[in-house]
Structure 1
Amino acid sequence: MKIIDKYILKRYLGTFSVMLLMFIPIGIVIDVSEKVNKMIANKVAMSDILVYYVDFTIYFANLLFPIFLFLSVIWFTSKLANNTEVIAILSSGISFNRFLRPFFVGAAIVSLFALMMGFFLVPAASKGFNDFRYKNLKGNNQTRETSDIFRQINTDEYIYVSNYNYMSQTGFNFAFEKFKDNKLVYKINSNRIKYDEKTKKYILYNYVKRTIGTANDIIESLDKTSMTFDFEPDDLTPVVYVAETMSIGELYKFIDKEREKGNANISTYLVVFYKKFSLPISAFILTLIAVAVSSMKRRGGMGVNLAIGIVIAFTFIFFDKVFGTMAEKSALHPFVAVWIPNFVFGILAIYLLRNAKR
């Protein structure tokens, strides 16, 4: 590797690291200011808070790393251009494609790191991050995500819970329906259902079972009973929350299991699965766009490049969110929805690079 490659690669990784170190503390300060009153009111232990902010850092960095990377590349490449270093490099006989090589190496390093984080570190951090919010931040908007839960647990069985508390593993207004040949066989209702970790059974309070008969229905009622069902407590948690807390192997097996059950929310899990692979690829695409935008010396200097970069970065995030939601709520295939932003911005990167070479 030549001196110029080491120089650019060092600036690439160094600026990206500084950008993370600058913005993550800002995110932590904002989060603390929003939640400090709830933490004090709920007497949260300092050790739990420290662990939460470790998880928060990993979660926050993974969520916004494309923007951080994009802005950092624009920042240091604009400085190279303003100092006429890009002109000097190209005037020495180095082609524009050769000039891009250290940027590709830097993008590969960052992509590999992001891939490993998405496979192993982020799921654990996401679980700790969400567990803390459920347990210690009462009244958080996250609690509303567990209302009106309807699941198909296999081809013939359906469950419904009007409200579910993740930490206590307790649901309210539970209903279980069993079908055979598209006809209702029986239905179970309970005012409250709680999962028992020791027995691996569900305790039902104010239990009522109605079995459909040919002439008369049979009704059975008990104040309290325990039963075994073919679903896990995780089936009653918010769909994205469950998928985000699994490693790549666990998520793959989980999707297979849910597909066999005929789960209607399978698209949501697939979006999370495919994003683990598409997000690192975006590092290459955004790097190319950033170099193409900022390698030219412009009137107005670095500010113009940063303004263009911010618009492109947030447009990318907008595309990513819109198509992800479309995959979850419409017939658009999750794989297509997740990769459309990379495809569109990949074409944009090629177009901008061709102009930059001229």
Structure 2
Amino acid sequence: MKIINRYILEECKMPIIFGVSLFTFIFLIEIIVSLMENIIVKGISLIDVIRILSFYLPPILSQTIPMGVFLGIMITFSKFTRTSESTAMSSIGMDLKAILKPIVILAVGITLFIFFLQESIIPRSFKKLQEITLKIAYENPVFQLKERTLIDEMDNMSLYIDKIDHSTKDAKNILIIRKTKKDEFPTIILGRKAFWKNTAMVLQDADFYSFDENGKEKLRGEFKEKKIPLSAYFQEIEIKVKDIEALDIGTLLKDIKTKKGPEKIPYLVEINRKIAIPLSTIILTILGAVMSIGHHRSGKGASFGISLGVIFGYIVFLNVGMVMAYKGKVSPYIGVWTPNVVLSILTMILYRKKARGI
């Protein structure tokens, strides 16, 4: 039996790797497209983009591993049925429970690995992601500035740039409106050219104009070069991971103690989600096997289609439940755990049916 168990696990290996890789790539597409824009238009280096993607991987893997395992198991057990290997296993006295034993053990190990990702790797990855995006913002501040757009989000000034050369990171025809006291007119600065040094704009060949309380010009002048700090404006690239998703369960349990009423709901939803998704790996593993075994005409295409349907349904129900929980329509426990309960019931029904017929 040990030889057969090893054989089953060996046959599952490549299909599971394929499934996880496929779903991970699908989840990464949106991020890759966004980062490609940063490479082409905003001049961020390819190395930094690869590093950003590597820090996105752990939170994505925590969601795609159960999906990939499900697809891999379906492909493997469909192959066992087509080649009559499942019939051979049954003929030597292996019942469905014995056939499923090695993949259930595998699923438990994968579930523990997902918990390890969530509790140890993801918080660190999120921290590194924040650090690298902040580093990019400081080293390449021009990526957040837009041509011919008035930026009025700074504390003491508004900024307008007519033209930006992304290859040299130089700007041309700059307008700066220095804000002063509420009842006073601002100081106007017109620069012909500017370049970037750290998070500061260095204006060259600029004129400035200040006005009195009646709006009449009271002073004008010019300067060859002037450094204008903009560090308060620059922030990280938008991170497509919510802060709460990067917290481990222990931190969430600690933070929820300081919350009251509706403030607790997001934390309850996230705690339950971090438990429900890893545990779904075990359910999906058994479900994938019992759905595939015994269907002689089902090939990789059929397995792929069925797995997509099941995974799509699971994701939809989970997200709908989470949204309803966030809005207080249902309990966080009901909203998050209902998809797992439905999968468990379906798995038990199919298991009993296949156990009688194998």
TM range, smaller chain: 0.5 to 0.7
Change (3 A) 1:57 1:252: same
Q: Distance in 2 between matches of 1:340 and 1:66?
A: 17
2:347 is aligned with 1:336: no
Helix, strand or coil at the partner of 2:242? helix
Who is 2:41 aligned against?
41
Give the CA RMSD over aligned residues. 3.0
Offset, 1:97: 1.0
Q: Distance in 2 between matches of 1:245 and 1:55?
A: 11
Offset, 1:58: 1.8
Offset, 1:241: 1.8
Worse-superposed segment, 295-304 or 341-350: 295-304
Who is 1:117 aligned against?
117
Change (3 A) 1:299 1:52: same
2:32 is aligned with 1:32: yes
**Structure showing greater Rg:** 2
Who is 1:95 aligned against?
95
Question: What is the aligned residue count?
Answer: 261
Residues 263-274 of structure 1 mapped to structure 2, 5 A cutoff = 264-274=262-272
Helix, strand or coil at the partner of 2:43? coil
- Which amino acid in the other structure matches residue 253 of structure 1? K
Change (3 A) 1:320 1:107: same
The answer (yes or no) to whether the contact 1:268–1:328 under 8 Å persists in 2 is: yes
Q: Distance in 1 between matches of 2:47 and 2:305?
A: 41
For structure 2, list consecutive stretches of 5 or more residues without a partner in the other structure: 138-142, 146-152, 156-181, 183-237
- Which amino acid in the other structure matches residue 257 of structure 2? D
Give TM-score, length-normalised by structure 1. Answer: 0.65
Change (3 A) 1:39 1:305: closer
- Which amino acid in the other structure matches residue 76 of structure 2? F
Change (3 A) 1:131 1:325: farther
2:75 is aligned with 1:75: yes
Q: Distance in 1 between matches of 2:267 and 2:343?
A: 24
Helix, strand or coil at the partner of 1:332? coil
The answer (yes or no) to whether the contact 1:74–1:294 under 8 Å persists in 2 is: yes
Who is 1:324 aligned against?
322
Who is 2:2 aligned against?
2
2:287 is aligned with 1:289: yes
Who is 2:11 aligned against?
11
Change (3 A) 1:317 1:295: same
Change (3 A) 1:297 1:2: same
Change (3 A) 1:129 1:59: farther
Change (3 A) 1:63 1:301: closer
Q: Distance in 2 between matches of 1:29 and 1:309?
A: 20
The answer (yes or no) to whether the contact 1:82–1:302 under 8 Å persists in 2 is: no
Identity %: 25
The answer (yes or no) to whether the contact 2:78–2:300 under 8 Å persists in 1 is: yes
The answer (yes or no) to whether the contact 1:293–1:309 under 8 Å persists in 2 is: no
Offset, 1:110: 0.7
Change (3 A) 1:21 1:314: closer
Change (3 A) 1:19 1:319: same
For structure 1, list consecutive stretches of 5 or more residues without a partner in the other structure: 140-164, 171-190, 192-236
Helix, strand or coil at the partner of 2:341? helix
The answer (yes or no) to whether the contact 1:81–1:295 under 8 Å persists in 2 is: yes
Residues 254-265 of structure 1 mapped to structure 2, 5 A cutoff = 254-257=255-258, 259=259, 262=260, 264-265=262-263
Change (3 A) 1:64 1:300: closer
1:278 to 271, 276, 279: 276
Give TM-score, length-normalised by structure 2. Answer: 0.65
Change (3 A) 1:324 1:25: closer
The answer (yes or no) to whether the contact 1:70–1:286 under 8 Å persists in 2 is: yes
Helix, strand or coil at the partner of 1:42? coil
- Which amino acid in the other structure matches residue 242 of structure 2? Y
Q: Distance in 2 between matches of 1:40 and 1:97?
A: 54
Q: Distance in 2 between matches of 1:55 and 1:311?
A: 29
Q: Distance in 1 between matches of 2:29 and 2:325?
A: 34
- Which amino acid in the other structure matches residue 109 of structure 2? I
Offset, 1:247: 2.3
Worse-superposed segment, 308-317 or 74-83: 308-317
The answer (yes or no) to whether the contact 2:82–2:297 under 8 Å persists in 1 is: no
1:251-308 Cα distance to aligned partner (Å, 9 max, x none):
2211112x2xx26332112111111111111011111110111011333534333322
- Which amino acid in the other structure matches residue 93 of structure 1? G
1:8-44 Cα distance to aligned partner (Å, 9 max, x none):
1222344322333455456556633343123443332
Who is 1:346 aligned against?
344
Q: Distance in 2 between matches of 1:312 and 1:50?
A: 32
Who is 2:245 aligned against?
244
Who is 2:301 aligned against?
303
Offset, 1:46: 4.0
Q: Distance in 1 between matches of 2:23 and 2:309?
A: 18
Change (3 A) 1:336 1:54: same
Who is 1:57 aligned against?
57
Change (3 A) 1:37 1:280: closer
1:297-356 Cα distance to aligned partner (Å, 9 max, x none):
333534333322221121111111111111111242212221111111100000011122
Helix, strand or coil at the partner of 2:257? helix
Q: Distance in 1 between matches of 2:19 and 2:326?
A: 32
